[in-house]
């Protein structure tokens, strides 16, 4: 049963926001508005108000700061959350981000906000429910108050260079996983891998072909692909080529851990006799 109410402002059919809008619909009562003016009308006509207002901004300047402030005054008890498209990635350096609004990019949505929305639905305080002056360091500490339980399993790390492979290996080992690293074309002959971490920093044809081969070689083990500044067409190509999850770099350790554990929990049991 859905108890929480969410107002989504923006274009839910935008290619970068479709998955987030669908995800919200499955977990909360969602009302939609195209503009901030329409969103204010929704707030005024709502009998119960909204627990969360998501601002889906596909580009900088789509929602003006004064309009966001007006929406905040109209719904002072609702928390605002910015879901940002690829064109907004440089806003913290050269733009004017809205003050007091928790920010996340479209490709960070699953790992960054799924656990927090679950907290909201469970009656707990999500990260956007804290003080508006909360710093990034405090946000990270909040995420680790209830760390994900990790089971000791084997992770295979694939990368195009040794430095990247070592970095991903160190992250996996920090979380308690055993790891095997591979640099180059041939996958290692291992048994019982719970997940594969594949770095997509280089996206030439040979790397795409390697991903397809790895998907077949390790099937049904799931693949987590990591890459910097993902675009929607690249993410879709990764998924079509065999990746099951995509994580953008730089990432928080919490994001990596959460996604990896989602894959681990759905990994099939390994037959010990076959592995032997």
So what's the pLDDT on residue 143? 57
Higher pLDDT, 275 or 69: 69
* Terminal Cα distance for the chain, rounded: 45
**Is residue 149 included in any domain, yes or no?**
no
CATH code for position 215 = 3.40.50.2300
Answer with the one of 143, 162, 197 that is the final residue of a domain: 143
- What pLDDT shows up at residue 274? 40
* Residue 136 scores a pLDDT above 70: no
- pLDDT tens digit string along 145-165? 544 455 568 899 999 889 999
In the block, residue with structure tokens 């990432």: 251
Nearest residue to 222 via CA among 203, 238, 245, 199? 245
Instruction: Provide, rounded to the nearest whole percent, the portion of the chain with pLDDT above 90.
Output: 26
32-46, 103-117, 240-254, 256-270: range with highest mean pLDDT: 32-46
Do 170 and 136 have their domain in common? no
Clarify whether residues 252 and 138 are in a common domain.
no
**Within a domain: 200:** yes
Please check whether residue 77 lies inside any domain of the structure.
yes
- Report the range of poorest mean pLDDT among 41-50, 115-124, 267-276: 267-276
Are 121 and 179 part of one and the same domain? no
More confident residue, 273 or 248: 248
Q: Which segments of the chain does DSSP mark as H helices, in order? A: 18-25, 36-45, 65-74, 91-94, 109-121, 136-143, 162-174, 205-218, 232-241, 253-265, 272-275
Under 8 Å between Cβ of 75 and 214:
no
Domain-terminating residue out of 82, 110, 143: 143
Tell the residue number behind the tokens 């997509």, with chain if given. 200
CA-CA distance, 112 to 78, in Å (whole number)?
A: 19
User: 40-49, 51-60, 67-76, 145-154: which range is least confident on average?
Assistant: 145-154
Structure tokens at 205: 């044809």
What pLDDT is recorded for position 96? 75
**For residue 83, what is the enclosing H or E element?**
strand 79-84
Could you report the per-residue pLDDT of 30-47, keeping only the tens digit for each? 999 999 999 999 999 998
Q: 9 with 46, same domain? A: yes
Is the pLDDT confidence value at 1 over 50?
no
Q: Are residues 9 and 129 in the same domain?
A: yes
Q: Which domain holds residue 27?
A: 5-143
Residue of 273 and 73 predicted with greater confidence: 73
pLDDT at 273: 42
Structural domain count, the chain = 2
For 40, 50, 74, 125, the CA distances from 245, given in Å and listed in that order, are 36, 30, 38, 27
The answer, yes or no, to whether residue 7 has pLDDT greater than 90, is: yes
pLDDT at 120: 74
Structural domain contains residue 79: yes
Q: Is residue 171 in a domain?
A: yes
The pLDDT tens digits of the residues spanning 81-119 come to 899 998 888 776 666 788 878 888 888 887 877 777 777
Please check the confidence at residue 199 and state whether its pLDDT lies above 70.
Answer: yes
Q: Is residue 148 included in any domain, yes or no?
A: no
- Judge if 134 and 243 occupy the same domain: no
Both 135 and 173 in a single domain? no
CA dihedral 128, 26, 234, 263 (to 10 degrees): 90
Question: Cβ of 22: how many Cβ atoms within 10 Å?
Answer: 11
């Amino acid at each position: 049963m859905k108890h929480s109410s969410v107002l989504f402002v923006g274009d839910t059919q935008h290619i970068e926001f479709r998955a987030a809008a669908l995800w919200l619909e499955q977990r909360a009562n969602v009302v939609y508005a195209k503009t901030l003016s329409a969103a204010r009308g929704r707030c005024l006509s709502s009998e119960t108000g909204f627990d969360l207002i998501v601002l889906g901004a596909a580009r900088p300047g789509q929602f003006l700061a004064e309009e966001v402030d007006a929406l905040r005054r109209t719904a002072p008890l609702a928390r605002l959350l910015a879901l940002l498209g690829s064109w907004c990635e440089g806003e913290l350096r050269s733009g004017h981000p809205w003050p007091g609004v928790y920010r996340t990019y479209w490709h960070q949505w699953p790992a960054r906000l799924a656990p927090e929305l679950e907290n909201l639905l469970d009656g707990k305080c999500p990260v956007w429910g804290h003080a508006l002056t909360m710093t990034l360091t405090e946000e990270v500490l909040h995420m680790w108050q209830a760390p994900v339980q990790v089971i000791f399993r084997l992770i295979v790390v694939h990368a195009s260079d040794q430095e990247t492979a070592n970095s991903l290996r160190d992250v996996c080992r920090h979380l308690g996983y055993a790891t095997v690293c591979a640099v180059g074309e041939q996958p290692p002959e291992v048994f019982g891998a719970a997940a594969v971490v594949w770095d997509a920093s280089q996206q030439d044809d040979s790397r795409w072909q390697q991903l397809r081969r790895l998907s077949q070689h390790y099937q049904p083990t799931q693949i987590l692909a990591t890459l910097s500044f993902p675009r929607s067409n690249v993410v879709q190509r990764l998924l079509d080529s065999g990746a099951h999850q995509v994580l953008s770099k730089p990432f928080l350790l919490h994001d990596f851990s959460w996604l990896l554990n989602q894959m681990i929990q759905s990994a099939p049991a390994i037959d010990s006799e076959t592995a032997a």
